Structure 1
Amino acid sequence: MADNKTQVTEISPAAFIAGIDHPTRRADAETLDALFRDITGWQPRMWGPTIIGYGAYHYTYDSGREGDMCATGFSPRKANLSLYIMPGYQDFGHILDRLGKHKLGKACLYINKLADVDIDVVAEIIQAGLDDLGARWPVKPS
């Protein structure tokens, strides 16, 4: 089986954030980094070239596919902020209803900018995602 394409790298998360051209996206990334650090108590690591991740877990699916991934994190992409809160949002509708403007992917929450959402609800979602993940897979700090 092929390895997971998203692997931990030695890129500095601080340098990555500092290199973001758009000032609002950079400021939002700085705010999210502080929020994720505060909630998790963990230091960030870069996963691939663009994901700032906190913690890690090893998964094994029924198919036999296995790998490692960050427990939670975000990516300040050009189009939006992508928040990775694994394994998904199926149980968090009651929280998401209070968030503000957002879109959902399979295991991602897409936000245009932090000004569009309630940051306290973002914090609640991060914690709920970690709690949900920890009930399924052992999570290791980073």
Structure 2
Amino acid sequence: MAKNQNKTQKTDASVDEYLMQIEDAEKRADCFKIKDMMERIVDAPARMWGTSIIGFGDYHYKYESGREGDFMRSGFAARKANIVLYIMAGFSEYNALLEKMGKHKHGKGCLYIKRLSDLDESALEEIITRSVASMAQKYPE
């Protein structure tokens, strides 16, 4: 791996096989639904990134430091405690949607949910849609 290359790279592993390994039936069903939602919103097929992240679309970035690489436009991972959605544009512009969305936690670019039934899915879709549009503006294809 090159010195400035991301550790998490796109692979040819099967997304569906990865999702079928999720033991909790509700979490597995939620992950398939999120996969379908993100494929529709990003307009790109699901791909495995590393061994446990499902990504959609990609973009190339280059920082002033000289570091550059490729990464997903949006994605998610089924972790033990939560489903983690990667909202690459961050959350600074989504306060009203986050309040409307329901039970969740979030960090700088990660949204942590237990299950889709805890959420207003239209608010979640809007956050993903706006994030993808923001990324497309910042990093055009």
Match of 2:128 among 117, 126, 141: 126
Match of 2:117 among 92, 115, 118: 115
Match of 2:50 among 48, 51, 65: 48
CA deviation map 1:4-61 (0-9, x unaligned): 0110011110111111111111011011011112222221100111111110001112
TM-score (norm 1): 0.92
Determine the structure 2 residue equivalent to 1:19: 21
CA deviation map 1:53-91 (0-9, x unaligned): 110001112222111111011111111011111131111
Deviation at 1:95, TM superposition (A): 1.4
Q: Distance in 2 between matches of 1:80 and 1:92?
A: 21
Letter in 1 for 2:52: T
Determine the structure 1 residue equivalent to 2:39: 37
Deviation at 1:100, TM superposition (A): 0.3
In structure 2, the gaps of 5 or more residues are none
Is structure 2 residue 98 aligned with structure 1 residue 96? Answer: yes
User: What is the root-mean-square deviation of aligned Cα atoms in Å?
Assistant: 1.2
**Native 8 Å contact 2:4 2:68 kept in 1:** no
Partner SS state of residue 2, structure 1 = coil
Q: Percent identity?
A: 42
Determine the structure 1 residue equivalent to 2:70: 68
